[in-house]
Structure 1
Amino acid sequence: MSQTSQLLLEVKGLKKHFPYKQGLFSRQKGVVHAVDGLDFTVNRGETLGIVGESGCGKSTAGQLILQLLEPTAGEVWFEGRNLTALGKEDVRKVRRHLQIIFQDPYSSLNPRMKVEDIVAEPLEVHGLYKGAALKERVVELLRLVGLDEHHMSRHPHEFSGGQRQRIGIARALALNPSLIVCDEAVSALDVSIQSQILNLLKKLQKELKLTYIFIAHGLPAVKHISDRIAVMYLGKIVELADRDSLFAHPRHPYTQALLSAVPVPDPTQRKERIILQGDLPNPANPPKGCSFHTRCPYAQDICRSAPPALERQADGHLAACHFPL
């Protein structure tokens, strides 16, 4: 299969700037650079993990891809179509192929609706099933995620967090999507439940030939499920590589610091922790030059004046650093 036929999603120069106002007359004071120029691709059947600190823009990026937010600049190409150039009705038709699993299973489900109605809603909206066929499809979806037919008549408050997330996954699967954005899909769950949901997602991906964008700040979960990993910092991708290579040989200082914080399960093995100095810069006033230079232990003069491009390194990593490790 050629690379062109494998390509499912292509993001080009994607930006989202949120204006903010201040003062008595609410005049615009500036803009928050939530996403500040993303370029990446996702192939069919793979999982691209996106990681970074809270506030780095990874969830905003997911919403931009799904056209839940209108980008300030850039393009999102899905199956050869530029989603950012489509009208509302065309986006609605395409959206059945693009779904999302939300972070919080408690607030993402309507507490007044029964499970049957929650899972059936997207099927009814798109007019795909009616009557007995609709109910049969809902039962099929619930069984796919490890729930039974008797769960259909219950409300969300009658389930545990893990079960609620399974309901959210069933709803995301209802329209047979090609791409699912998992936005912190396991972050609100207990560790033991996280592993169950991650294994379920991997199983469903294999059976249904799904493609995932898995957004998280927990590196162990991202390592478990991802094929490639993009590391975001202050609205930009600073490193992108395949999973094993990234964990074994990080090329960007920020990636190196993130990986140093991952706990090692062996108490006899000592690991040197890299402590970054300072806080994440204000995205309303990002640093000039390299966005990471204010916290980077290797920063030099060029880092303070010239932003580095995301370039391919000798080992295949894409890294935005003047002095990659």
Structure 2
Amino acid sequence: MDEAATSQALLEVKGLKKHFPFKQGIFSRNAGVVRAVDGVDFTIQPGETFGIVGESGCGKSTTGQLILKLMEPTAGEIRFQGQNLTNVTGKQIRQVRRDMQMVFQDPYASLNPRLTVRNIVAESLKVHGLAKSDLDDQVEELLNVVGLGSHHLLRYPHEFSGGQRQRIGIARALALKPKLIICDEPVSALDVSIQAQILNLLKKLQKDFQLTYIFIAHGLPAVKHVSDRIGVMYLGKMVELASQEALFQHPHHPYTEALLSAIPVPDPTKRKERIVLQGELPNPADPPNGCHFHTRCPYAKAICREEEPVFKQIEKGHYTACHFPL
């Protein structure tokens, strides 16, 4: 990565890994590990939206949880505002989490059904000692920012639509005035028309509050709408990273090319050639030798089955892990 960009980064991730051991048999013997995240590197600048995309099971959500220290990494380094979070625990991690928040995928499961909206949004303010005497005014202001009102304060999550519940989750994330918000597939459970509303709201909030986002999704259209740069993950590894414009105009990895070909064209008079990947996603507990993608890659050659490609820069700001970049 560019050293100048790294020195100014809000977040730096280097060699991040998360392996989950699993057991088999009647004696529950160790049978191996699932390499959910297997050596990921990227940096994020203040005010940027960094998108992470890939198929289900590629490790993108696990990456977000590792950054927030919701689980401990197996290896690697996470630096936030220059601070190494690798061994941060207790009161220190609580302080860090004031500056890092998450908006979850399921807007219902992420909200406590027994709490009113007032208590859901106010909870983090109380935990971090930021609740003021006019707590109701604080909560009401946050609700207004996300398009809800004071008449919603005493309602429960089940009384709202999916889009409204996600707005409540966003208000909760904003309560501590964070610098970084990790959006873990925040619109995948919503109707298409509501998705656009939430994406536009996130963009507006970013501008108003100088926020930095990590936007995790499996659909490229949503990521394109909000992201400055995009990282593509496959089987626990980052296979391509570039600006939004460069990635969509000239992808260099066959997997990215296939993902882009699956985006529908909103014009019935135009035909688009779809690249259909053969085979199933390999088992992350037993990934293929060499390039992990070679079992499904239409361009694979002998070296792809034997030698893992290096994730390297092939154009300014454009990185890929491929022996034969497109």
Normalization by structure 1: what TM-score? 0.98
Shift of residue 60, structure 1, vs aligned partner: 0.3
Cα distance in 1 for residues equivalent to 2:6 and 2:163: 37
Cα distance in 1 for residues equivalent to 2:78 and 2:137: 35
What's 1:98 paired with? 100
What's 2:60 paired with? 58
Amino acid at match of 2:226: I
Cα distance in 2 for residues equivalent to 1:310 and 1:4: 17
Cα distance in 2 for residues equivalent to 1:185 and 1:296: 30
RMSD: 1.0
The DSSP-based 3-state class of the residue aligned with 1:61 is: helix
Amino acid at match of 2:60: K
Residue-by-residue CA offset, 1:280-310 (whole Å, 9 max, x unaligned):
0000001111010111111111111111111
Amino acid at match of 2:309: P
Alignment of 1:162-201 (within 5 A): 162-201=163-202
Amino acid at match of 1:121: E
What's 1:77 paired with? 79
Shift of residue 75, structure 1, vs aligned partner: 0.7
The DSSP-based 3-state class of the residue aligned with 1:189 is: coil
Calculate percent identity across the aligned residue pairs. 72
What's 2:109 paired with? 107
What's 1:131 paired with? 133
Moved over 3 A (4+): 2-6
Amino acid at match of 1:42: I
What's 1:121 paired with? 123
Cα distance in 2 for residues equivalent to 1:202 and 1:6: 22
Q: Residue 12 of structure 2 contacts residue 43 of structure 2 at CA under 8 Å; is this kept in 1?
A: yes
Alignment of 1:1-325 (within 5 A): 3=5, 6-132=8-134, 134-314=135-315, 316-325=317-326
- Structure 2: tracts of 5 or more residues without a match: none
The DSSP-based 3-state class of the residue aligned with 1:283 is: coil
Cα distance in 2 for residues equivalent to 1:87 and 1:24: 36
The DSSP-based 3-state class of the residue aligned with 2:315 is: coil
The DSSP-based 3-state class of the residue aligned with 1:180 is: strand
Cα distance in 2 for residues equivalent to 1:118 and 1:29: 42
Cα distance in 1 for residues equivalent to 2:255 and 2:6: 32
Cα distance in 2 for residues equivalent to 1:87 and 1:261: 42
- Structure 1: tracts of 5 or more residues without a match: none
The DSSP-based 3-state class of the residue aligned with 2:129 is: coil
Shift of residue 4, structure 1, vs aligned partner: 5.8
The verdict on how the C-alpha distance between 1:3 and 1:314 changes in structure 2, with shifts beyond 3 A counting, is closer
Amino acid at match of 1:86: V
Residue-by-residue CA offset, 1:199-252 (whole Å, 9 max, x unaligned):
000000000000000000111100000000000000000000000110011000
Cα distance in 2 for residues equivalent to 1:123 and 1:146: 20
Cα distance in 2 for residues equivalent to 1:112 and 1:15: 36
The DSSP-based 3-state class of the residue aligned with 2:37 is: strand
- How many residues end up aligned between the 2 structures? 323
Deviating more after overlay: 118-127 vs 305-314: 305-314
Cα distance in 1 for residues equivalent to 2:5 and 2:56: 33
Shift of residue 265, structure 1, vs aligned partner: 0.1
Q: Residue 6 of structure 2 contacts residue 12 of structure 2 at CA under 8 Å; is this kept in 1?
A: no
Cα distance in 1 for residues equivalent to 2:315 and 2:164: 45
Amino acid at match of 1:276: L
Amino acid at match of 1:82: N
Amino acid at match of 1:169: I
Normalization by structure 2: what TM-score? 0.97
